[in-house]
Amino acid sequence: MILAALALVLSTAFVQEPPKKAPDPDTAAYSALLQKHVAKGLVDYEGLRKDRAALDAYLKAAEDARGEHGLAFWINVYNASVLRDLVDSGKKLPAKVTDLKGFFDAQKHKVNGAEQTLNEIEGFVRKQWKDPRVHFALNCGALSCPPLLSRAFTEDKLGATLDELTRTFLDGPGLVLDESKKELRATKLCDWYKDDFVAKSGSLEAFLRKHVTDGKKLDALELKGGWKLTFQDYDWTPNAGR
């Protein structure tokens, strides 16, 4: 009996506690900066270039952060990194985001004690959370991206925010009816990341039906009467306003 109790004590002594989620860097100043320089998804890059202290401070805090963080942290880091890369691209923005060499797959960003490209951050988010709604929150700085939110993401309201962003974009320019051709043209994101949508909802159409509220689009998504689902071209022009 004594030996059994001792064995139990020794076995539990070596059981590791699950890692605790680390506190996220404060986003108050960064959020205020977004509210000041982002309107209707478009960015005042000239104003941001002159008023970037809060952006740099947030990304420095994200660089120094350690431990496990939630999805809101990684969305904020991705979007803030895109903003800084475009601000740092020169006095004049490129004609296309993709004109910046290595913008997605070579430029490194120091985050949480490691260096990662934008593609690597996005890949981590997709693998870790398996939530295709993130494609309507991550903003790559191009006009065809879903609009950049004019505030920082927070964990406490993240689900509702992702639902709202997904619904708003798909009810708007992310899913367009062309009644003359009987085409329902979805954002190219639905083509590039189709596997994510299928894994979540069984099919791309099922995901769209879950999040679209526009009646005509819902009818067209039944793909009856000659309707077909196609994909839009992607406009890589920077999402600059003012």
Q: Which residues of the chain have pLDDT under 70?
A: 1-21, 242
Residue type, 224: K
Give the model's pLDDT for residue 160.
Answer: 98
Q: In this structure, are residues 47 and 37 in contact, taking their beta carbons and an 8 Å threshold?
A: yes
Output Rg (C-alpha) for the chain, integer angstroms. Answer: 21
CA 36, CA 49: separation in Å to the nearest integer? 12
Residue type, 16: Q
Structure pTM?
A: 0.90
Give the model's pLDDT for residue 219.
Answer: 95
In sequence order, what DSSP letters do the residues of the chain get, joined into one string? -HHHHHHHHHHHHTPPPPPPBPPPPP-HHHHHHHHHHEETTEE-HHHHHHS-HHHHHHHHHHHH--SB--HHHHHHHHHHHHHHHHHTT-SS--SSGGGSTTTTTT--EEETTEEE-HHHHHHHHHHHH--GGGGGT---SBTTSPPPPSS---GGGHHHHHHHHHHHHHHTTTEEEETTTTEEEE-THHHHTHHHHHHHHSSHHHHHHHH---HHHHHHTT--TT-EEEE-----SB-B--
Greatest alpha-carbon pair distance for the chain in Å reads 83
Output the CA torsion 184→189→195→201 (10° steps).
Answer: -60
Give the model's pLDDT for residue 99.
Answer: 97
How buried is 131 (Cβ within 10 angstroms: 0-12 exposed, 13-18 middle, 19+ buried)? Answer: middle
